[in-house]
Amino acid sequence: MSTQKRQMRLGAFIMATGHHAAAWRHPDAQADAGMNIDHYRALAQTAERGKFDLVFVADSPAVWERAKDPEAVRRTAQHAHFEPITLWAALSQATSRIGFVATASTTYEDPYLLARKFASLDYISKGRAAWNVVTTGADVSANFSIPGHPAHADRYARAEEFVDLVKGLWDSYEDAAFIRDKESGVYLDLEKVHHVNHKGQFFSVAGPLNVGRPVQGYPVIVQAGASEPGRELAARTAEMIFTANQTLDDAQEFYSDVKGRLVRYSRGPDELLISPGIFPVLGGTEAEARANYDYLQSLVHPSIAWNILAHHYQGLDLSGYSLDDPAPPLPQDTELNKSRLKLVSDLVERNNLTLREFYLAVATARGHRTVVGTPEQIADSMQEWFENGAADAFNIMPPILPTGLTDFVDQVVPILRKRGLFRHDYEGRTLRENLGLRRPPNSFVLQAQRVPEARIAG
């Protein structure tokens, strides 16, 4: 029986110039980061130097900023950024162990093309690819020649079918399908090639895929939804879930609820890793950390502040409010991100925030947990959640980049290692190996094995 101590996993959640709403204005930020490959290369190498499991970029198939105020639009640094699969394919050649999580939408992508891209990335990176499955809350249908944006329930129904279909396409070829015997002249064993022949509610795809089965079997499946259908989708299909929680109690509830659903799908608790985001503001002392936090907050332009509020208070005219007025209740119905709406609503209600306090609270990490303190205090906070049923991993969200990631690697990681909470070196070569996740069997092979068993039983 293994006596190895459980250790946390770490991901670097990279948001170009940093996660703070005004990060690009900070003197230490790389202002042109969104389109600067050297910047991303350095970040990936820094995360690998720290033995992080993965790097992750969020993504949207359209411009992220949807502000109606032109002044806010021109002061926002998120207008242009790399497409993540292309970015990670390039950076996999500048690294050797760290995993790459790319976001791709089940609402606006095509299953066959997506399966092909991720299988290719897994080969190019030699088994270090992961797919962050998102349903895209924002209406960007005008860019895709489709009638309109699907409702929340329809997006999740489509996502269920989409994920199953992509996995089937990744199984098009069995692991031993490619013989490549020069002497006999046989390249491919056709008995090990499978058509999905899928006809569902949303998709009709014949297959097979034109890329071999990925190195990892499937790229690691990551998901970020925390609504009721999001939790169920994660329990059935995901292997890691990115989540946002403000309090230990909320994180424990989420952790227990999602892990408890796994048994319905014949899955064990170690088959799904839960990774809350954390926005660490570091300083050599508490006072220094607080000063760093206050300086960041001072960079938020008033137009950006009101835009943050308008985004959360859609449908409510805020023109009669001042920033020092109590924050009114948030709208309780949305077709966008339902779980994030609940999180920020609870934040406002629990702390009786003013509008100023509200926008400052979400200017940091959009509802993810903000921790301000010394490296020891950041490590304390992470250890508390990790050891008390709230997290298996953490998605580190540096306030500014590149220095925020470098500081975490150089100051916090050594403390976690000293406490026996984090690795000194990688355990394997693929992302699955480093996360402790099994390589999934081919579904067509499993089905073929079940048919004889059923005949014997009959």
Residue 285 has pLDDT above 70, yes or no: yes
Residue 458 has pLDDT above 60, yes or no: no
Most confident of 57-66, 141-150, 419-428: 419-428
Residue 362 has pLDDT above 80, yes or no: yes
Residue 452 has pLDDT above 70, yes or no: no
Per DSSP, 409 falls in state I
What does the block give as tokens for 173?
A: 């070829």
How many residues are there in the chain? 458
Residue type for position 244: A
Residue 136 has pLDDT above 60, yes or no: yes
**What integer best gives the mean pLDDT of the chain?**
92
My answer on whether omega of the bond before 208 falls inside 30° of 0, hence cis, is: yes
Residue 1 has pLDDT above 50, yes or no: no
Specify whether the CB–CB gap between 395 and 14 falls below 8 A.
no
Among 69-83, 263-277, 290-304, name the one with the lowest average pLDDT.
69-83
Residue 295 has pLDDT above 50, yes or no: yes
Give the whole-angstrom CA distance, residue 90 versus residue 100.
11
Residue 52 has pLDDT above 90, yes or no: yes
Residue 94 has pLDDT above 90, yes or no: yes
Residue 389 has pLDDT above 70, yes or no: yes
Specify whether the CB–CB gap between 58 and 13 falls below 8 A.
yes
Q: How confident is the model at residue 340 (pLDDT cuts 50, 70, 90)?
A: low
Give the whole-angstrom CA distance, residue 386 versus residue 272.
15
Specify whether the CB–CB gap between 88 and 100 falls below 8 A.
yes
Those residues with Cβ within 8 angstroms of residue 72's Cβ, 6 or more apart along the chain or in another chain: 65, 301, 303, 304, 306, 307
The fraction of the chain above a pLDDT of 70, given in percent, is 94
Residue 334 has pLDDT above 70, yes or no: no
SS3 content of the chain, % helix, strand, coil (to 5): 45, 15, 40
Read off the pLDDT of each residue in 72-97 and give the average, rounded to a whole number: 91
pLDDT digits (tens, 9 = 90+) for 194-227: 999 999 999 999 999 999 999 999 999 999 878 8
> Which of 371, 364, 361 is CA-nearest to residue 399?
364
Give the whole-angstrom CA distance, residue 47 versus residue 316.
42
Read off the pLDDT of each residue in 363-384 and give the average, rounded to a whole number: 95
Read off the pLDDT of each residue in 281-303 and give the average, rounded to a whole number: 96
Q: How confident is the model at residue 68 (pLDDT cuts 50, 70, 90)?
A: low
Residue 331 has pLDDT above 50, yes or no: yes
Read off the pLDDT of each residue in 1-17 and give the average, rounded to a whole number: 86
Read off the pLDDT of each residue in 273-283 and give the average, rounded to a whole number: 98
Read off the pLDDT of each residue in 139-157 and give the average, rounded to a whole number: 87
Determine the pLDDT at residue 348. Answer: 82
Determine the pLDDT at residue 2. Answer: 47
| Residue the block writes with tokens 């046989």 | 186
Most confident of 60-74, 335-349, 368-382, 441-455: 368-382
Q: How confident is the model at residue 269 (pLDDT cuts 50, 70, 90)?
A: very high
Q: How confident is the model at residue 144 (pLDDT cuts 50, 70, 90)?
A: confident
Among 68-72, 288-292, 326-330, name the one with the lowest average pLDDT.
68-72
Count how many Cα atoms sit within 13 Å of the Cα of residue 366 in the half-sphere of its side chain. Answer: 18
Residue 67 has pLDDT above 70, yes or no: no
Q: How confident is the model at residue 236 (pLDDT cuts 50, 70, 90)?
A: very high
